[in-house]
A and B are shown apart, each in its own frame.
Chain A
Amino acid sequence: MSERPIRVLLIEDDPGDYDIVREYLAAPTDERFDLEWVWTYESGVERALSGEHDAILVDYRLGAKTGAELVNEIKAAGCKTPVIFFTGAKAEEAADRAALKAGVYDYLSKELVDPAALIRSIQFAIERRKSEEAAQRLRERELEIGSRIQELLLLGKLPDNLEGASLAGFLRASQQVDGDFWGFFGHDPHRFDILVGDVMGKGVPAALLAAGAKFLFPDCIRRLVLTGKTFARLPDPEEIVAAVHYSLLTQLHELETFVTFCYARFDLEARQLVFVDAGHMPTIHYSAETGTVNWLQGDNLPIGVSAEEVYAQRCVPFGRGDLFVFYSDGITEAKSQQNELFGRERLAQLVLGNVDLNPQDMADRILQDVQEFAGRDGIRDDLTCLVVRIGKEDPAKPLAEAGLEVFSRPGELDSLRKFVDWFCVTHSQPPLTEHERTTLVLAVSEATANILNHAYWGARNRRVTVHAMAFPGEVHVDLADWGRRFDPEQVPPPAFDGSRANGFGVYIIEQCVDDHRYYRDELGRNHLRLIRRSGGKTVPAPP
């Protein structure tokens, strides 16, 4: 029993039928009905579109037009009210089929129906409409969640402190969650891998497979390295892809799908790109030196297609200022209103016309152009794009480096100090003076004591990593820990009159080194980088 009357719209050109319906709906029952009657096609459409009714009864014949035409018209205009055909004609098969096609909820014969049947039909139509709406909302909610997961999991964060290169990109899911994915895997300051891929298929299943496939790459790298398969050498892209291919083969076969991707390693030292193209879009390579664009393509099949496929990598040298643009077919296959495809050439021209933009601006520009080109309806697939620019300067490489890992025990401070002292004596170029060494060692000792006391709050079984690097004219010491983050702003300044004994640690660090920086790396470790320069800061001489 609902609180308010059920509002029914009757579109019927025969007044006699109206009388019957009116009587039926007035029959004693739990429900009350508000009946509105219109008798022309046009007013039927108008009233139906008002959205003020819970159900619509339409005569199958409405003068020159049919109820089916009316239903099609109001549905096209977005009317969601359930419609019931109401007709005097006996079993008309054509009418039945038309009713089904028109998406009508029920089909009642005026001759056969009684009040109970009519009322029941209206009630069922309304209930069915409600559960359809609930299902639709659930679907939308799932897609929303899936899309968020896709964004967070599959995309991950791109590094913003890479030396020697910069990257940016976007992945815009289509109307539903989809199979596009990308990955960034950094190995050391000079080498990182890019992965841009697409699982064939749509929806959550494709996205799930994409997530699984993506994470298989670093897992295969791990297995290849840690199980000694490559004797601690970083595996080549073709080895990684072969391992992923072999791991996924059976599953992809069973799921009857495949994965296209491009896996590319940037080696900033060797200045070359080594990539495997498994049925993916050709990558755009803009050469700063020649000012032209090249298409990078391999000729391997997507994984999941053939068990016997042998994956082979290609090498491409690059120079400073070069650009690489990886993308998915969602971009090149975006269609304009005139049914024109965005295409590779247009994308290449866009890159050529904007070579001075940084990767983020370039990516934004590409997205904007594609969206403008395609309008609302032209984009059917995920839009994925990753832009990599090779920096103008090579990342600085230390002349020498050494590392030490200690437990968070005060007794270890001595070996740490001796290590830093030894490193400076042996490797600093030009050699640091005794005074410069003393102050650096003091700063390292104080900083480590802070880690022990504050970051690790006195715990004695944690680790501290010390990484010393010698660059021309300076020595860097990088301390890393997994403890509480230290905020130097929170430390009160020391008192120099001897009235207070604490607060000197931070002050000493600041005074002893030429530069220092607290930061967090991409794995969440805290770092303090101390820098001592040859001929740099000196402690003020006593008066």
Chain B
Amino acid sequence: MTLKTYELNGVTIVQVPVTTLDISNVDEFRTAMSAVLQDAQNIVIDLDQVEFVDSSALGAFLSFLRRLNAAGGDLKLARMRKSVRTLFELVRMHRVFEIVDTPEAAVELFNQAGSKQ
């Protein structure tokens, strides 16, 4: 899996190129993300393409979040489709992750928080 990444105001945006994230490709996803996680502290994952996410992918997201938090950074999720949001709400992960409409809005939130510090 090749992830497209770009930077915006010090925040790394990751675009997920596949339509589903499930047990068939979650290991690939983790491997691809590990490179990004090494370099960046604040990350936004753009889920525009993603139509389906299952619990194993959810577990991957959680592990990214924990890793970033431990290093003093954070993870936000953007452009989540309705069907994916159903899963997050079902397991109440919408309280654990910050879910925003666009990557730009996420970057904005990161900068606000940064300036508050």
Interface residues of A (CB under 8 A from B): 409-411, 413-414, 417, 434-435, 438-439, 441-442, 445-446, 449, 452-453, 494, 496-498, 501-502, 504-505, 507-508, 511-512, 539-542
Q: Which of B60, B66, B87, B91 is in CB contact (< 8 Å) with A494?
A: B91
Beta-carbon contact of B58 and A445 below 8 Å = no
Chain B residue with Cβ nearest A453: B23
Beta-carbon contact of A501 and B63 below 8 Å = yes
Q: Which of A417, A452, A504, A542 is in CB contact (< 8 Å) with B52?
A: A417
B101 part of interface (Cβ distance < 8 Å): no
**Given A498-B65, A501-B63, are A508 and B90 also a contact pair (CB < 8 Å)?**
yes
CA distance A288 to B34 in the complex (A): 72
Beta-carbon contact of B91 and A496 below 8 Å = yes
What number of A-B contacts does a CB cutoff of 8 Å give? 76
Beta-carbon contact of A496 and B92 below 8 Å = yes
CA distance A417 to B24 in the complex (A): 13
B109 part of interface (Cβ distance < 8 Å): no
Nearest CB of chain B from residue A462's CB, rounded to whole Å: 15
9 A-B pairs with least C-beta separation: A501-B59, A410-B24, A498-B96, A504-B55, A410-B23, A501-B62, A496-B92, A438-B83, A411-B24
**Given A446-B54, A502-B59, are A435 and B24 also a contact pair (CB < 8 Å)?**
no
A-B contact pairs, 19 of them (CB 8 A): A409-B24, A410-B22, A410-B25, A413-B22, A414-B20, A438-B82, A445-B22, A449-B55, A494-B91, A496-B91, A496-B95, A496-B96, A497-B96, A501-B62, A505-B55, A511-B90, A512-B90, A540-B89, A542-B89
Beta-carbon contact of B54 and A452 below 8 Å = no
CA distance A497 to B96 in the complex (A): 7
Chain A residue with Cβ nearest B54: A445
Nearest CB of chain B from residue A305's CB, rounded to whole Å: 63
Beta-carbon contact of A445 and B89 below 8 Å = no
Beta-carbon contact of B22 and A504 below 8 Å = no
Name the residue among A496, A498, A512 with the largest chain B CB count within 10 angstroms. Answer: A498
Chain A residue with Cβ nearest B25: A410
Name the residue among B66, B91, B93, B96 with the largest chain A CB count within 10 angstroms. Answer: B91
Nearest CB of chain A from residue B47's CB, rounded to whole Å: 15
Chain A residue with Cβ nearest B97: A498
Q: Which residues of A contact B59 (CB under 8 A)?
A: 501-502, 504
Beta-carbon contact of B90 and A446 below 8 Å = no
Nearest CB of chain B from residue A448's CB, rounded to whole Å: 9
Report the interface size class on chain B: 20 to 34
Beta-carbon contact of A442 and B86 below 8 Å = yes
**Given A411-B24, A414-B24, A496-B92, are A438 and B86 also a contact pair (CB < 8 Å)?**
yes
Q: Which of A417, A435, A445, A507 is in CB contact (< 8 Å) with B86?
A: A435
Q: Which of A439, A508, A539, A540 is in CB contact (< 8 Å) with B55?
A: A508
Beta-carbon contact of A449 and B65 below 8 Å = no
Beta-carbon contact of A498 and B20 below 8 Å = no
State which residues 1-55 of B face A: CB under 8 Å.
20, 22-25, 52, 54-55
Chain B residue with Cβ nearest A417: B52
Q: Which residues of A contact B102 (CB under 8 A)?
A: none
CA distance A341 to B34 in the complex (A): 86
CA distance A446 to B91 in the complex (A): 13
Chain A residue with Cβ nearest B20: A414
Beta-carbon contact of B54 and A442 below 8 Å = yes
Q: Which residues of B contact A511 (CB under 8 A)?
A: 90
Q: Which residues of B contact A508 (CB under 8 A)?
A: 55, 87, 90-91
19 further interface pairs, Cβ-Cβ under 8 Å (given A438-B86, A501-B60): A410-B24, A414-B22, A435-B86, A442-B87, A442-B90, A445-B52, A446-B54, A449-B23, A449-B54, A453-B23, A494-B91, A496-B91, A496-B93, A497-B96, A502-B59, A504-B58, A505-B55, A512-B90, A542-B94
Nearest CB of chain A from residue B101's CB, rounded to whole Å: 15
